[in-house]
């Protein structure tokens, strides 16, 4: 099928689509009813990350990761430290994920206000994982280009610096501004943080669906998420919803120009998977001549063990 497009517009579109961003996108989903139907819109073998919330617990995350892996996806479950009771439960989760063939996990402190057990932070969990051993080739940790509403910047930087002994990449909290993301990466490099950075971006977000999802994951979880994403609320609830086109183009342009040390995108779908996949299929990241990004680190040897939030 061909479209009749004025030549100048066609050239402009070709230039935009030629801007590559290394690597394939990672798609984040929530462990809610219907999510297995939603992920059928993803490409075969796609990387799918699975969140964890205090309301649904880590067990729901692990179960969904097992199901996704069985369907041929590369599942990346969130291990929320404050929702895991002790090293015995952690070892059980690790063993189940190993059997399922999961080779990438994302370690977070979690949104629980009080720890369920012995882990008060993601760093606590990372240290125990290193001590008991694990099969994961990749371990991700969060980072915060716009800061955190409850944690000061010095503490955030100290935690990320400490975590890179155990982690192989970091994913930024959702951000709508390419310049902010790239400034954050430059500052991380200045501070000696060499972890590959995956930019967290929103997918296609329909306002009505976002509100329905918010109710299903729990109002408290939703409020905590919005509080941790300062620019999120007004953008996501804009009439007509949100489309990530301009953000992805900006990140891609900066990356290919060597002005932003990114290895890929992490797409927050809010389980609105199909429209996000379709939109990104028309974006610069799928027109790349750059080799697939290390998922996400090959340039740095695996860390050996030696504060998380």
Position 301 scores a pLDDT of 37
Global pTM reads: 0.79
Q: Which residues pair with 176 in a beta bridge?
A: none
What pLDDT score was predicted for residue 204?
A: 84
Rounded CA-CA distance 86/94 in Å is: 12
Q: Which two tokens stand for residue 199?
A: 């930019």
Structure confidence by residue, pLDDT tens digits, 117-146: 999 999 999 999 999 999 999 999 999 998
Entry field: residues in the chain: 309
pLDDT digits (tens, 9 = 90+) for 251-308: 999 999 999 999 999 999 989 899 889 888 766 554 433 333 444 444 343 333 333 4
**CA nearest neighbour of 51 among 236, 248, 228, 271:** 271
- For residue 232, what pLDDT is reported? 53
- What letters, b where the CB count within 10 A reaches 16 and e where it falls short, cover 112-133? beebbeebbbbbbbbbbbbeee
Could you give the CA distance from residue 250 to residue 227 in angstroms, rounded to a whole number? Answer: 25
Q: Are 38 and 274 in contact (CB under 8 A)?
A: yes
Q: So what's the pLDDT on residue 236? A: 55
Q: How far apart are CA 79 and CA 122, in angstroms?
A: 8
Q: What domains sit in the chain, N to C, each tagged with a CATH number?
A: 25-286 (3.20.20.220)
Q: How many CB atoms lie within 10 A of CB 2?
A: 4
Q: What is the CA radius of gyration of the chain?
A: 19
75 contacts 99 by C-beta, under 8 angstroms: no
pLDDT at 48 (0 to 100): 97
Tell me what pLDDT residue 240 has.
57
Residue ranges in the chain whose pLDDT is less than 50: 1-20, 214-223, 230, 286-308
31: tokens are: 């462990």
């Amino acid at each position: 099928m061909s479209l009749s497009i004025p030549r100048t517009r066609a050239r402009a579109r070709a230039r935009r689509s030629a801007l590559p961003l290394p690597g394939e996108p990672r798609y984040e989903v929530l462990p809610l009813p219907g999510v297995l139907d939603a992920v059928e819109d993803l490409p075969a073998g796609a990387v799918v990350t699975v969140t964890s919330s205090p309301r649904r617990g880590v067990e729901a995350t692990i179960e969904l990761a097992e199901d996704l892996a069985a369907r041929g996806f590369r599942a990346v479950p969130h291990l929320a430290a404050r929702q895991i009771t002790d090293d015995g439960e952690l070892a059980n989760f690790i063993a189940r994920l190993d059997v399922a063939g999961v080779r990438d996990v994302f370690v977070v402190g979690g949104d629980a206000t009080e720890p369920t057990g012995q882990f008060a932070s993601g760093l606590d969990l990372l240290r125990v994982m290193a001590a008991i051993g694990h099969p994961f080739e990749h371990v991700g940790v969060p980072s915060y280009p716009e800061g955190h509403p409850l944690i000061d910047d010095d503490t955030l930087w100290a935690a990320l610096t400490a975590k890179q002994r155990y982690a192989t990449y970091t994913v930024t909290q959702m951000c709508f501004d390419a310049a902010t993301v790239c400034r954050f990466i430059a500052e991380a490099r200045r501070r000696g943080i060499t972890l590959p950075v995956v930019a967290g971006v929103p997918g296609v977000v329909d306002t009505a669906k976002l509100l329905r999802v918010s109710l299903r994951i729990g109002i408290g979880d939703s409020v905590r998420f919005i509080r941790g994403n300062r620019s999120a609320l007004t953008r996501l609830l804009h009439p007509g919803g949100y489309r990530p086109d301009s953000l992805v183009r900006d990140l891609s342009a900066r990356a290919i120009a060597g002005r932003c040390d990114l290895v890929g995108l992490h797409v927050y779908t809010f389980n609105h998977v199909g429209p996000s996949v379709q939109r990104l299929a028309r974006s610069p990241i799928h027109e790349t001549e750059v080799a697939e990004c290390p998922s996400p680190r090959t340039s740095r040897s695996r860390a050996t063990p030696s504060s998380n939030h």
